């Protein structure tokens, strides 16, 4: 028997039914939880990321577990958000397949831990291109190809960089950039009926794929002593916030960043200050 799909039941399906969403990085971790929730609510979803085998496998699994009666509600394609042509193709292919785009969730992203002094320009650029420029290209392209004329909602996933982000300087700078980009786009595009918000998960949302990326299955557990709620967060706790922001319940919320971190960003950071040389 297929494993039960974890989705929250707090949303009315009538609010989402027939809507079309793009979720970048929608085949793993937080992105997969968002995709499953949106499919469960009756949306049609396009998921896209770099690794075609992995996203295809994830799409096949979700078609059989989440929408076995409507497998065509989920489409997938390869897209590296760092590549402008890939993103243009993602938007036009989604429009061709589903006829409209109501929601975009910029979830695809990531980084590698390193002291700032050891980050090469190539590594810095890879992280900035992915998390800041990639998010910008997706936003600009969906606006130009669709939302300028038809409205829509964008949610950008960022990170807990509010107090600086030691060992993650590149992604901290990129995510702070997206926080500000969110505000600017919210103002520029409000007259067209486009809302733009961000969600900032705490650094303790357990995702198998994210842990594998860092080569440390306990990477999120190491955070627990500075996490006020004293437990790991789940991808579903992020996806329910994303769905709220996409929904008409958030119709007057734009240019905002919602922290999903159980107050962790108000408390201490894990980073230990080294002894001066």
Ligand X SMILES: NC(=O)C1=CN([C@@H]2O[C@H](COP(=O)(O)OP(=O)(O)OC[C@H]3O[C@@H](n4cnc5c(N)ncnc54)[C@H](OP(=O)(O)O)[C@@H]3O)[C@@H](O)[C@H]2O)C=CC1
Ligand Y SMILES: CCC/C=C/C(=O)SCCNC(=O)CCNC(=O)[C@H](O)C(C)(C)COP(=O)([O-])OP(=O)([O-])OC[C@H]1O[C@@H](n2cnc3c(N)ncnc32)[C@H](O)[C@@H]1OP(=O)([O-])[O-]
Tokens found for residue 25: 């990085």
Backbone φ and ψ of 260, nearest 5°:
-115, 80
Binding marks (x or -) toward ligand Y, 146..185, rule CB under 6 A?
-------------x--------------------------
Q: Which residues, 94 to 133, sit near ligand X by CB under 6 A?
A: 107-110, 130
Segment (H or E) for 72: none
Instruction: Please count the residues of the chain.
Output: 277
The span from the CA of 277 to the CA of 262, in Å, is 36
- What gap in Å lies between CA 123 and CA 174, rounded to an integer? 13
Site for ligand Y in 71-130 (CB under 6 A): 110-112, 114, 120, 122-123, 126-127, 130
| Identified binder of ligand X from the candidate list 40, 63, 76, 82, rule CB under 6 A | 82
- Least distance from ligand X to the Cβ atom of residue 48, Å: 6
Taking contact as CB under 6 A, which single stretch among the options 35-43, 79-87, 115-123, 178-186 is the one that binds ligand X? 79-87
Task: Count residues near ligand Y (CB under 6 A).
Answer: 15
Identify which of residues 8 and 269 has a Cβ nearer to ligand Y in the complex. 269
- For residue 182, count CB atoms less than 10 angstroms from its CB and return exposed for 0-12, middle for 13-18, buried for 19 or more: buried
Q: Which is nearer to ligand X, 49 or 240 (CB)?
A: 49
Judged by DSSP in three states, 100 sits in coil
Chosen residue from 7, 22, 44, 49 binding ligand X by CB under 6 A: 49
Binding map of ligand X across residues 25-44, x = CB under 6 A, - = no contact: x-xxxxx-------------
131 near 123, Cβ under 8 Å? no
Max alpha carbon distance in the chain (Å)? 64
Q: Is 269 in the site for ligand Y (CB under 6 A)?
A: no
Among 135, 203, 239, 240, binds ligand X (CB under 6 A): 203
- Residue 234: CA count within 13 A, CB half-sphere: 7
* Residue 83: φ, ψ to 5°: -110, 115
Chain positions contacting ligand Y, by CB under 6 A = 110-112, 114, 120, 122-123, 126-127, 130, 159, 203, 210, 213, 219
């Amino acid at each position: 028997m297929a494993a039960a799909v974890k989705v929250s039941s707090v949303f009315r399906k009538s609010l989402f039914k027939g809507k079309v969403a793009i979720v970048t990085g929608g085949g793993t971790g937080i992105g997969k939880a968002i995709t499953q929730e949106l499919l469960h609510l009756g949306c049609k979803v396009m998921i896209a990321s770099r690794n075609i085998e992995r996203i295809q496998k994830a799409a096949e699994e979700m078609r059989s577990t989440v929408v076995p009666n409507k497998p065509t509600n989920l489409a997938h394609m390869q897209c590296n958000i760092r590549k402008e042509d890939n993103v243009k193709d993602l938007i036009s292919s989604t429009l061709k397949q589903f006829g409209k785009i109501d929601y975009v969730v910029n979830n695809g992203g990531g980084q590698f831990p390193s002291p700032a002094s050891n980050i090469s320009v190539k590594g810095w650029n890879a992280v900035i291109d992915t998390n800041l420029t990639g998010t910008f290209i997706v936003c600009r392209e969906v606006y130009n190809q669709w939302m300028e004329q038809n409205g829509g909602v964008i949610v950008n996933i960022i990170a807990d960089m509010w107090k600086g982000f030691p060992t993650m300087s590149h992604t901290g700078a990129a995510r702070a950039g997206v926080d500000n980009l969110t505000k600017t786009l919210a103002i520029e595009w409000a007259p067209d009926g486009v809302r733009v918000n961000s969600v900032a998960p705490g650094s303790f949302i357990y995702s198998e794929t994210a842990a594998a990326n860092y080569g440390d299955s306990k990477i999120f557990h190491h955070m627990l002593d500075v996490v006020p709620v004293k437990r790991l967060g789940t991808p579903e706790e992020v996806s329910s916030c994303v769905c709220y922001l996409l929904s008409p319940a958030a119709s007057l919320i734009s240019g905002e960043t919602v922290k999903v971190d159980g107050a962790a960003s108000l408390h201490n950071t894990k980073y230990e200050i080294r002894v001066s040389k």
